[in-house]
Structure 1
Amino acid sequence: MNDIEFQLDNFMLYCSSKNLSRKTLSSYEQTLKLFVAYLNREFQIDEVKKVQSGHIRQYVKYLRERGKYTVVNKEESKLINRPENRKDFKKEISTTTIANYVRNIKVFFNYLYEVEREIPKNPVEKLENPKVERKMKKTLTPDELKRVFGQFETSTFHGYRNHVISRLLLDTGMRIGECLSILPEQVDFQHKSIHVINTKNKQERFVYFSYKSANELKQWLRYKDRYSSSPFLFPTTKGTQLDVRNFERALRVAGERVNIHIHPHQLRNNFAKYYILNGGDWFSLCRILGHSSVEVTQKAYLDFSDEEIARKYQKHSPLTFMDEMK
């Protein structure tokens, strides 16, 4: 193990000690191992103190040119994963993905410079972030949402379960991973709330559901208890915890049947958009979504179309309210 590999391993231990999510840890490790392999292959660099900002800029240029899945950390993995069979093999890597790579590299070198003092100069101190063009999050209409939800076969266990999950995600703004880990005892019907424990940022919080969801959840629990003794609110037919990817696939297929592109996080996005459009405030939305600050929430959901802003204006026009007060 050379110096840069040792420092990477030490960084991963440090991140694990901070109780970061598996997804974050995996993102760091995958990104940094590919970067380390590039440094060794192209510049024969095996010490962290030899890495300069120019090397990182060259890597960004290389990422823009090489295409998806053309490079792996271990060549033998190609025999198992067969990246050449993917539909997006060699396609251009998105600016968003490259920006995530740069962010992870920055975290690593900031750690080496500020925490461990392993490098005399920080190569990412003045490194520019790739400019990401923001894409407006599509707001699905109530009719589109109903059409998707209507594709689930509610006479089957898994179809009924997926139907209830989809509507609950839209009603609460939960992340799909949070939803699938819920136990029935976390649901409080009196206060119409769910105690979310398995969160992205490890901060427990409460989300809230409507009268409609309350009735649907009660009906679902009665149904589930007839056919499953699983401790999970939304188990598989075998009683185990439902995998996120399996639900993502089921929702995507439901959308494809009515020519609507949809994924679980889009339901969270739509919850946030409709919450604000219907008169909700940013502070309470921030709390419900589990964001660290109102600024984070606004940055994520501030992209309203002109039509949406026009509709919201009509609800809150000062002159309209003034006339109503006469």
Structure 2
Amino acid sequence: MTDFEFQVDNFMLFCSSKNLSRKTMASYEQALKLFGQYLKQQFKIDEVTKVQTGHIRQYIKYLRERGKYTVVSTEESKEVNHPESRSDFKKDISTATIANYVRNIKVFFNYLHDVEKEIPKNPLTNVESPKIERKIKKTLAPEQLKKVLSQFDLSTFHGYRNNVIMRLLLDTGMRIGECLSLLPESIDFKHKSIHIINTKNKQERFVYFSYKTANELKRWMKYRDRYSDSPFLFPTIRGTQLEVRNYEKALRDAGVKVGIPIHPHQLRNNFAKYYILNNGDWFSLCRILGHSSVEVTQKAYLDFTDEEIGKKYQKHSPLTFMDI
């Protein structure tokens, strides 16, 4: 084991002790293993103390040029994932992905410098992450959402389940991972609320649902109880927990049938936009989404088009409500 690999293993143990999510830890480990491979192959570097700022900048340049899935952290993963068969194989890596890699590497070297004191100087101190051009997230019209919902076969267990999940995501703003880990006892029909325990930031919170969704959930739970004794609210037909990637595929496939690109996080984004467009306030939206501040909510989700701003303005124009 090289010094770099040893330090990465130590870092991952540190992350485990901080109770970080599996998704975050997997992102760190993949980014660091790929960076370690690059340092070894290009510069014959396998010690963290030898990494310099120039190596980081060279790596960013390399990422911009190499193309998607042309490098893997382990050769065994090629046999499982078959990256060469992907439609986006060798296409440009997005700036957002490169920025994420740089951020993960920066967290690692911050740990080495600030926590463990393993390196005298942090090579990422003067390295700026690539600037990401924010794209306006598309708001799906009610007609489009209705078309996608209609693609789920309500006569089948999985079709009915997927339809209800989509409705619940759109009505509550939950993350898909939070939704799929729900248990029936998390639902409070009296207050029309859901207690979410398995959150991204480990902070429990409540989300709320409408009368319409309350009726949908009651019907689903009666149906589910006839065919499953699973502890999960939205199980597979075998009773196991439905995996995020499997629901993502089901939703994407439903959208493809009607020519509408869609994914679960887009439903969370649409919930947020419609909440504000329907005169909801930023503070309560921040609480519902589980963000640390209103600024985080505004920055992460609310990209309004000029048309949406124009329509909202007409509802709130000062002169409209003045007798002058």
Query: TM-score if structure 2 supplies the norm length?
Result: 0.97
- AA aligned opposite 2:190: Q
| Alignment partners' CA distance in 1, 2:101 and 2:175 | 23
Counterpart residue number, 2:150:
150
Counterpart residue number, 1:310:
310
Q: Please say which of residues 314-323 and 290-299 is displaced more in the overlay.
A: 314-323
Deviation string for 1:185-205 (max 9, x for gaps)?
000000000000111111110
SS of the residue aligned with 2:207? strand
Counterpart residue number, 2:82:
82
Count of residues in Structure 1 that have an aligned counterpart in Structure 2: 324
Q: Counterparts in 2 of 1:81-160, with a 5 A limit?
A: 81-160=81-160
Q: CA deviation at 1:307?
A: 0.5
Counterpart residue number, 1:217:
217
Q: CA deviation at 1:71?
A: 1.3
Q: Counterparts in 2 of 1:211-290, with a 5 A limit?
A: 211-290=211-290
Q: CA deviation at 1:321?
A: 2.8
Counterpart residue number, 1:14:
14
- AA aligned opposite 2:134: R
The Cα RMSD (Å) is 1.2
Q: CA deviation at 1:301?
A: 2.0
SS of the residue aligned with 2:194? strand
Q: Counterparts in 2 of 1:52-91, with a 5 A limit?
A: 52-91=52-91
Q: CA deviation at 1:277?
A: 0.8
SS of the residue aligned with 2:104? helix
| Alignment partners' CA distance in 2, 1:318 and 1:138 | 28
Q: Counterparts in 2 of 1:164-203, with a 5 A limit?
A: 164-203=164-203
Counterpart residue number, 1:47:
47
| Alignment partners' CA distance in 1, 2:80 and 2:159 | 33
| Alignment partners' CA distance in 1, 2:235 and 2:80 | 30
SS of the residue aligned with 1:207? strand
Deviation string for 1:249-307 (max 9, x for gaps)?
11111111111000111000000000011111111111100111111101012310011
Q: CA deviation at 1:322?
A: 3.0
Hey, which bits of structure 1, 4+ residues long, moved more than 6 A? none
| Alignment partners' CA distance in 2, 1:235 and 1:308 | 37
| Alignment partners' CA distance in 2, 1:239 and 1:228 | 6
Q: 1:142 to 1:81 in 2, by over 3 A?
A: closer
SS of the residue aligned with 2:322? helix
| Alignment partners' CA distance in 2, 1:77 and 1:280 | 46
- AA aligned opposite 2:90: K
Consecutive unaligned residues of structure 2, counting only runs of 5 or more, are none
Consecutive unaligned residues of structure 1, counting only runs of 5 or more, are none
Counterpart residue number, 1:4:
4
| Alignment partners' CA distance in 1, 2:146 and 2:281 | 26
Q: Counterparts in 2 of 1:291-306, with a 5 A limit?
A: 291-306=291-306
Alignment identity in percent?
78
| Alignment partners' CA distance in 1, 2:76 and 2:264 | 34
Query: TM-score if structure 1 supplies the norm length?
Result: 0.97
Deviation string for 1:6-52 (max 9, x for gaps)?
11110000001111110100000000001011111111111111111
| Alignment partners' CA distance in 2, 1:252 and 1:151 | 11
Counterpart residue number, 2:208:
208
Q: CA deviation at 1:240?
A: 1.0
| Alignment partners' CA distance in 1, 2:102 and 2:261 | 29
Q: 1:216 to 1:308 in 2, by over 3 A?
A: same
Q: CA deviation at 1:127?
A: 0.5
Q: 1:77 to 1:141 in 2, by over 3 A?
A: closer
SS of the residue aligned with 1:221? helix
Deviation string for 1:96-143 (max 9, x for gaps)?
100000000100001111111111111111101101111110000011
Deviation string for 1:38-80 (max 9, x for gaps)?
1111111111111111000000001111111111223344344
Q: CA deviation at 1:81?
A: 3.2
- AA aligned opposite 1:288: I
SS of the residue aligned with 2:231? coil
| Alignment partners' CA distance in 1, 2:146 and 2:80 | 40
